[in-house]
Structure 1
Amino acid sequence: MFIISFILSYGYWNTFRPILQEVDVDLPGCTENVCGMRILHLSDMHMERISVSPEKMYEQIKGTNPDMIVLTGDYLDEPGNLPKWAVYMQYIARLQPKYGMYAVLGNHDYRLGDKVNELIAIMESYNCKVLQNESIQINYKGKDINIIGIDDYHLRRSNLELAYANIDERALSIVITHDPNIILHMDGRHKVDYLLAGHFHGGQCDFPYAFRLYPMGVLPKQNLYKGLLDYKGKRMYISAGLGQSAINVRYNSRPEITLHRLQAE
């Protein structure tokens, strides 16, 4: 009994110990103009089971000086936590990134039903553009960049044709999405220089072969579920996320905030 209690306590303690991962990303499509661009990435915050307070989160992100912020889904699934989410958004928005904040929704967010529109309204009130199978172009130091937001693949809401309908094929393309399994369906028609996602929580309880017991698609079965990865020539990063789902414990996968620095290959 003591051992079980210790294991559970250790796993719960881990949920209070976020890591700021700083990742230098070498991209073939990255030009000299874009080198050094800083992207702050938050994912899977799960208001129902997050141990990191908005104040502690802000202490870790306030010195990151991001050019852009991206949020890759699963913020909450209970309408009663919308005010709580608004507080986190308030702290994130304090960073005022020059090139904007962009977000996609995850499978848990759609559990809100009609209230998902309130979630979107909260985010957009803090100048965070929610992309649902659509793109937006920004100009960074004279270089055009596509920000492509693909809706949640897990719930079959992804529409690649819509998401890519208005992109500039000559521009660097940064894709944000919740479930990275969408990359399995992306081919030469879908330009991807860097894909940012979440969904897997880095395993959350990251034990060997865990994804065989709890399947979440093809990627984790191929041991592709966290960190900086390549899939058939496409570079992607899968965040371990800041919150938890199901149970509020973590093993071998602490809560994560990620700062990406883009570099030329």
Structure 2
Amino acid sequence: MPHPLTRAALTTLGAVGAAGTAAAVWGIGIERYLFTLREHQLQLLPAGARPLRVLHLSDAHMAPWQRRKQRWIAALASLKPDLIVNTGDNLGHPLGLDGIRASFGPFRGTPGVYVHGSNDHVAPSPRNPFKYFLGPSKIKTETEYLDTDLLDRYLADELGWHDLNNSVAALDVAGTALHAFGVNDAHRGWDRLGSLVEPLDRMRQTESAALTIGVTHAPYRRILDSFVDLGADAVFAGHTHGGQVRLPGVGALVANCDIPLDQARGLSTWTRADRTAPLNVSAGLGHSIYAPVRFACRPEATLITVLPRR
């Protein structure tokens, strides 16, 4: 008969193994399909202005066979948003644009802005997930490049969305003048913050706006600080996947950038000097095809209703 301590150890190992198996089944087979719409309200518009419905989409990491995700995103058009903010990493496969067309097609005619993540340029590759605990992921030298120009032609020419990669734009959103600026993927070092200053000044001299938004894929602190300095009334970001695997009661374990972990998902505020702006970091709609799991971190889109200030 086994010693009592041996029996206890075997029982503990069995329980741990069963819990790990259950968590894997949930994260791989169930939760990554539990698409969720988060809703918030922000009071940012001048008194008497019409409320605006802003739909924040991020990190679809689309592969052509992901029909369930494509149908869910397309159905969000029924929300009738006034503005789409897309914070990048739309593609997750060389043929991912086929799925993006199926997902975003119903939004044609809705004003929108977008920036790129690195996976809008290069295909994903297998990674050791434990390396994320050592800091932001490293850039691989051998990559499979995607057709970013074709993606841009679809988003800009067919959908009519404004490309904010190190650029600015003035929009009329449901009769409200809006200014937007953004940067290319900061995780890759493709951001050019200095290139925004003069275009923003010219745009503001030409026309005032009721609302100014800053858009980035990766919410590095230097980007968020600069966006607040540049006058963003609200900031939108993605990239973190909300940690992708979170511990209940603890939250995100990694963010793949230097943002505080308690701000790696959801609506918070970012303060720089004496100025504060709302910050929405989307946990995103997808994941790398090489890491098909989410745990305590459902895939999501965010609908933010922007109201007049009291």
The normalised TM-score by structure 2 is 0.74
SS at match of 1:45: coil
Determine whether 1:135 maps to 2:168: yes
Residue segments in structure 1 that go unaligned for 5+ positions in a row: none
Choose which of 84, 95, 102 in structure 2 pairs with 1:87.
Answer: 102
1:201 alignment counterpart: 241
Amino acid paired to 1:253: C
Q: Is the 8 A contact 1:54 1:91 kept in 2?
A: no
Given the superposition, is the C-alpha separation of residues 82 and 159 from structure 1 closer, same or farther in structure 2, using an over 3 Å criterion? Answer: same
**CA shift for structure 1 position 215:** 5.7
Match in the other structure for 1:262: 306
1:116-142 C-alpha deviation (Å, 9 max, x unpaired)? 112212222222232211111123466
Structure 1 residue aligned with 2:72: 56
Q: Distance in 2 between matches of 1:141 and 1:118?
A: 28
Cα distance in structure 1, aligned partners of 2:119 and 2:169:
24
**Alignment-derived partner of residue 137 in structure 2:** none
State the 1:216 CA deviation: 2.1
Quick one: distance in 1 between partners of 2:98 and 2:244? 26
Q: What is the rounded CA distance, in whole Å, between the counterparts of 2:255 and 2:298 in structure 1?
A: 21
5 Å matches for 1:163-174? 163-167=196-200, 168-169=203-204, 170-171=208-209, 172-174=211-213
**Which residue is equivalent to 1:242?**
285
Q: How far off its partner does 1:217 sit?
A: 2.5
Equivalenced residue count is 255
Mapped to 1, the partners of 2:56 and 2:26 lie a distance apart of 26
Residue pair 2:121, 2:148 contacting (<8 A) in 1 also:
yes
Percent identity, aligned pairs only? 26
Q: In 2, Cα distance between the equivalents of 1:248 and 1:79?
A: 17
Name structure 2 gaps, 5 residues minimum. 1-16, 124-144
Please point out which of 194, 197, 210 is paired with 1:161: 194
What secondary structure sits across from 2:113 in the alignment? strand
Shift of 1:186: 0.9
Answer 1 or 2: which has greater helix percent.
2
Q: 1:216 is aligned with what amino acid?
A: N
1:191 partnered with 2:234: no
How big is the shift at 1:188? Answer: 6.4
TM-score, structure 1 normalization: 0.86
> Counterpart of 1:115?
147
Q: CA deviation at 1:224?
A: 1.5
Structure 2 letter corresponding to 1:41? H
Which residue type is aligned with residue 74 of structure 2?
Y
Match of residue 24, structure 1, among 33, 38, 41: 41
| Residue aligning to 1:5 | 21
* 1:146 maps to amino acid: H
The one-letter amino acid of 1:109's match is D
Quote how far apart the aligned CAs of 1:32 are.
Answer: 2.5
Amino acid at match of 2:280: Y
In 2 relative to 1, CA 187–41 (structure 1 residues): closer, same or farther, beyond 3 Å?
closer
Q: Is the 8 A contact 1:103 1:176 kept in 2?
A: yes
Distance change in 2, residues 1:56/1:45 (3 Å) = same
User: Alignment RMSD, CA only?
Assistant: 2.4
Q: Do the aligned partners of residues 144 and 33 (structure 1) sit closer, same or farther apart at CA in structure 2, a change above 3 Å counting?
A: farther
Give the SS at the match of 1:75: coil
| CA radius of gyration, larger in | 2
Taking the aligned partners of 1:188 and 1:42, their CA distance within structure 2 comes to 21
Query: Aligned partners of 1:239 and 1:164: how far apart in 2?
Result: 26
Q: Distance in 2 between matches of 1:34 and 1:106?
A: 33
More deviation, 83-92/247-256: 83-92
Identify the structure with bigger relative contact order (alpha carbons < 8 Å, sequence gap 6+): 1
Aligned to 1:230: 269
